[in-house]
Structure 1
Amino acid sequence: MSHHLGVGQGQYRPGSPIRIHLSVPAKEKEAFFPLPTLHSLAALGEITESDPAALRTEEAFREALDGVHVLVTAWGFPRLDAARLALAPDLRFVMHAASSLHWLVSDDFWATGLPVSQAGVAMAPAVAELSLGFTLSLLRRTHRHDHALHAGQSWETAAGSERAREIGGARIGVVGASRTGRRYIEMCRALGAGVRVYDPYVKAGDPLAELTTGLTDLLATSDVVAVHAPATPETHGMIGADEIAAMRDGTRFVNTSRPSIVDMDALFDAVASGRIDAALDVFDSEPLPVDDRWRGLPNVLLTPHVAGATADSRQRAGRIVVAEIRRHLAGEPLQHALTRDDLARMG
C-alpha cells in the first residue's frame, strides 16, 4: 500500500510518503501492537522498526531514523538531545507509547517545537485497580493470613486476634489527584469508602475540591493511605519520617507510584515494628535484591513494579498511539500532547 502525506499540513510536503518508525523493546512489541493494532498503524504510513537497545551508536540511530517523520518510542530509547535530533532532520512528531518522558526529552528537544504525546493514560485503570486490590487485601488482612499459612503457623495463629475491616465505611486518604489517583478514588467511593485527598493543585470547581485536606490531617485520620502523586522535585521525600509518625497505629499504606515520594527507611521501620502494614509495587532498588529487607516482613504485600503492566493496558496504549498519530497526520488537535510545563508536574 502506498501512503502519502496530506495537503494542508504545513510541516509535510504534499505527495511525500509517510514514514513511521516503531522502536519498542522486543518483549513489549506484541503487547502494545497485536496484529490488528499493527495493521491499523500500517494503514497510516510505511513502518520501519528497531529495538531501542540497538540504537546506542550514532551510526545506528542515523540509519534507523533516516527519512522518518513519526517516531514511536517506549522504554530504553536514546535521549533526544541535540546530537540525536540532528540525525533525524525529517522528524515531525514523537509518540511515546509508555508514560514518563523525563528521560526521553531534553532542553534541545523542547527548543525544536516538535509535538510530543504519550499514552500514559492507558495505564491509569490498571494502576488504580492494583492499588484497590492492595487496599482490600490490607483491610482484610489477606497478606498476613497468607504469609502465616505459608510459614506453617497454626490455623488459629494465622487467623490472628485482630478483626479485618471492610472497605465500606473505611477512611481512605489519597495523596495525589493524578489520573491514577482519580480512578482509584472512583473505585473506592463506588464501594462505599469515605475518601479525602491531598493535592495542592486541585482547583476550586474541581469535583474533588470538596474532598481535599492537608497532608498531616489526611495521614493522621485515614485507615488507608494510598500514594498516587508523581515523582517530581516538589514531591521528593514528601512523606518523610514525621509524616509517617503522624499515621495512627494500624494504618495501611499503599504505594503504586514512586519510592522517591516516601522516606523508605522510615517506612520500613514503621512496618517492621508492626505499627502499620504496607503494600508496595515500587522500591528504591529495582529489581528488588533477593536478600532485600522488605522480603522478610510478614505484614507487607510486595509486587515487582507491575501495576500498569496488564495485557489490557498495553493494548489500550497501542490503540492510543495509532489514534494520536492519525490525528497528527490529519492536522487535528492531539488528545494526549504534552508541553514542557505539563511535564514539570508529571512523574
Structure 2
Amino acid sequence: MSPQAAAAVFTSRALAALGEVCDLAPLPVLDDLSTVRAKEVLADVEVLVTGWGCPRLDADVLAAAPRLKAVVHAAGSVRGHVTDACWERGLAVSSAAAANALPVAEYTLAMILLHGKHVLERARDFARTRARDNWLLTTQDVGNYRRTVGILSASLIGRRVIELLRPFDFDVLLHDPYVTPAQAAELGVEWVELAELFTRSDLLSVHTPLLPATRGLVDRTLLGAMRPGAALLNTSRGAVIDQDALTDVVRAGRIRAVLDVTDPDVLPADHPLWDCPNALITPHLAGSQGSEWERLADTAVDEVARWAAGDGFAHPVRRERLAFLA
C-alpha cells in the first residue's frame, strides 16, 4: 500500500496486533513491488496485507512470491490490484469492504433524516433571516413520518442502510435485479421495478456498484420520473448517474440532491451544481475516515489470524462474484 495509507490505517497499536498473529516483515511498507528490497521480502511472504495504493499483483509479482497464498485487503474493492494471475494461482483473497460499508451506511442514514426535516435549507434560511418561522405552518413535505425511502441495490451498504432504517417510520422500497420479492420481504422491504422505485420514493439512495452494466443506469428518464421535491442521495460512484441529466433536474428545482460522489469525482470549479441551493456536495467522505480506519486495520488483523489458524476468511472475495462487486 502507499506509505500514506499505511500511516493512516495501521497505527502502532494495529501493527503490534498484526505482529502478534504473524511474523511481520520489517517496515517500511512496500509500495513498489519491482524493487530489489521488494523482491527480497516477497520471496518469503505467505500473506500480503494490502491497502490503498497497492500495485497490481500481476504474474511478474507473483513469480517473485512463490510462497504467497493469501491477500488480505485492508480496504474495500480489490479490483485495482488483484489480477487474473492471482485467481489462477488460487490465492485466497479477503477484503474489509464490509467494515468500510458501515460508515457509508451511517452517513446515508444521517442524510436521510436531515433531508427529511429539510435541515440544510431551513438552516440556511435561518442564518439569512435570523428569525424563526411559525413552526405550525410547516408544510406537509417536511418530516420523516411515513416517508418512502427507495434503496437502489442490496449491496453490503444497501443492506446495512435497510437495517439502520428499521427503527424509523419509513416505508422502504428496494430494487435489485438479483434479489427476489420474497428475499426482499425477508429484509423487511418491498421489492419494486426500477421505474417504480423512482416514481414512488420521497428519498432515493443509490448503492449500486459501478460496473459496465450500471454506468449511467440512473438516466434522464428515471430522474425525470421522480416526485417534485424528492431527494436523490448517491454514495456509490458518480458515473452510475447521468451527471448532465442530474444537473438539469436539480438546477430546475425539481429534486434535491446529496452527492458524496460525482462524475468526475471532483466537479470543475465552475460547475453549476456547486451553487445550487438544493444540492449538497460532500468530498467523498462517507467511507472510512479518521477513527474509522482503525476498524479496517482490526478487520485485516482478524482475517490474518483466522487464516493462520486454518479457519478461513470471514470476509472472502470470490472470483465468481467479481461481476457484482465494486
Same fold, TM-score > 0.5, yes or no = yes
**Alignment partner of 1:102 is 2:102:** no
Counterpart CA distance in 1 for 2:221 and 2:309 is 52
Q: Which residue of 1 aligns with 2:56?
A: 79
Counterpart CA distance in 2 for 1:63 and 1:264 is 47
Does structure 2 conserve the Cα–Cα contact (< 8 Å) formed by 1:230 and 1:345?
yes
Counterpart CA distance in 2 for 1:111 and 1:287 is 36
- Letter aligned with residue 249 of structure 1: P
Does structure 1 conserve the Cα–Cα contact (< 8 Å) formed by 2:6 and 2:29?
no
- Letter aligned with residue 105 of structure 1: V
Q: Which residue of 2 aligns with 1:277?
A: 256
Does structure 2 conserve the Cα–Cα contact (< 8 Å) formed by 1:61 and 1:84?
no
What CA deviation, in whole Å up to 9, does each residue of 1:133-188 have, x standing for no partner? Answer: 111222222222344456x467579x998565222211001001111111111222
What CA deviation, in whole Å up to 9, does each residue of 1:54-101 have, x standing for no partner? Answer: 416454542442321111111111111112222222211100000011
Deviation for aligned residue 1:323: 1.1
Counterpart CA distance in 2 for 1:291 and 1:43 is 51
**Alignment partner of 1:250 is 2:222:** no
Q: 4+ runs of 1 displaced by more than 6 Å? A: none
Does structure 1 conserve the Cα–Cα contact (< 8 Å) formed by 2:145 and 2:170?
yes
- Letter aligned with residue 233 of structure 2: V
Counterpart CA distance in 2 for 1:64 and 1:50 is 11
Query: What is the root-mean-square deviation in Å for CA atoms of aligned residues?
Result: 2.4
Q: Which residue of 2 aligns with 1:231?
A: 210
- Letter aligned with residue 170 of structure 2: A
Identify the range of structure 1 (64-73 vs 221-230) with the bigger mean alpha-carbon deviation: 64-73
Identity rate of aligned residues, in percent?
35
Does structure 1 conserve the Cα–Cα contact (< 8 Å) formed by 2:103 and 2:292?
yes
Identify the range of structure 1 (194-203 vs 81-90) with the bigger mean alpha-carbon deviation: 81-90
Q: Which residue of 2 aligns with 1:11?
A: none
Distance 1:84 1:120, change over 3 A: same
Identify the range of structure 1 (215-224 vs 138-147) with the bigger mean alpha-carbon deviation: 138-147
- Letter aligned with residue 279 of structure 2: V
Does structure 1 conserve the Cα–Cα contact (< 8 Å) formed by 2:144 and 2:170?
yes
Q: Secondary structure at the match of 1:46?
A: coil
Counterpart CA distance in 1 for 2:99 and 2:60 is 31
Deviation for aligned residue 1:277: 0.2
What CA deviation, in whole Å up to 9, does each residue of 1:220-273 have, x standing for no partner? Answer: 011000011111122221111111111111111000111121111101110011
Identify the range of structure 1 (98-107 vs 64-73) with the bigger mean alpha-carbon deviation: 64-73
Does structure 1 conserve the Cα–Cα contact (< 8 Å) formed by 2:229 and 2:256?
yes
Q: Which residue of 2 aligns with 1:191?
A: 168
Counterpart CA distance in 1 for 2:33 and 2:88 is 23
Paired residues for 1:329-344 under 5 Å: 329-344=308-323
**Alignment partner of 1:26 is 2:16:** no
* Unaligned segments of structure 1, at least 5 residues: 1-22
Does structure 1 conserve the Cα–Cα contact (< 8 Å) formed by 2:33 and 2:39?
no
Q: Secondary structure at the match of 1:43?
A: helix
**Alignment partner of 1:112 is 2:89:** yes
Which of 176, 179, 203 is the matching residue for 1:202? 179
- Letter aligned with residue 190 of structure 1: P
Paired residues for 1:101-250 under 5 Å: 101-148=78-125, 152=128, 155=131, 165-203=142-180, 204-205=182-183, 207-208=186-187, 211-250=190-229
Counterpart CA distance in 2 for 1:303 and 1:100 is 21
Identify the range of structure 1 (202-211 vs 34-43) with the bigger mean alpha-carbon deviation: 202-211
Which of 278, 295, 319 is the matching residue for 1:299? 278
Counterpart CA distance in 2 for 1:68 and 1:119 is 20
What CA deviation, in whole Å up to 9, does each residue of 1:284-315 have, x standing for no partner? Answer: 12344443332111111111001112345322
- Letter aligned with residue 113 of structure 1: G
- TM-score normalised over the length of structure 1: 0.85
Does structure 1 conserve the Cα–Cα contact (< 8 Å) formed by 2:232 and 2:258?
yes
Counterpart CA distance in 2 for 1:209 and 1:201 is 16
Distance 1:298 1:205, change over 3 A: closer
Work out the number of aligned pairs and report it.
321
Q: Which residue of 2 aligns with 1:8?
A: none
Paired residues for 1:295-334 under 5 Å: 295-334=274-313
Identify the range of structure 1 (141-150 vs 120-129) with the bigger mean alpha-carbon deviation: 141-150
Q: Secondary structure at the match of 2:178?
A: coil
What CA deviation, in whole Å up to 9, does each residue of 1:86-135 have, x standing for no partner? Answer: 22222111000000111111122211111110011112221011111111
Distance 1:60 1:292, change over 3 A: farther
* Unaligned segments of structure 2, at least 5 residues: none
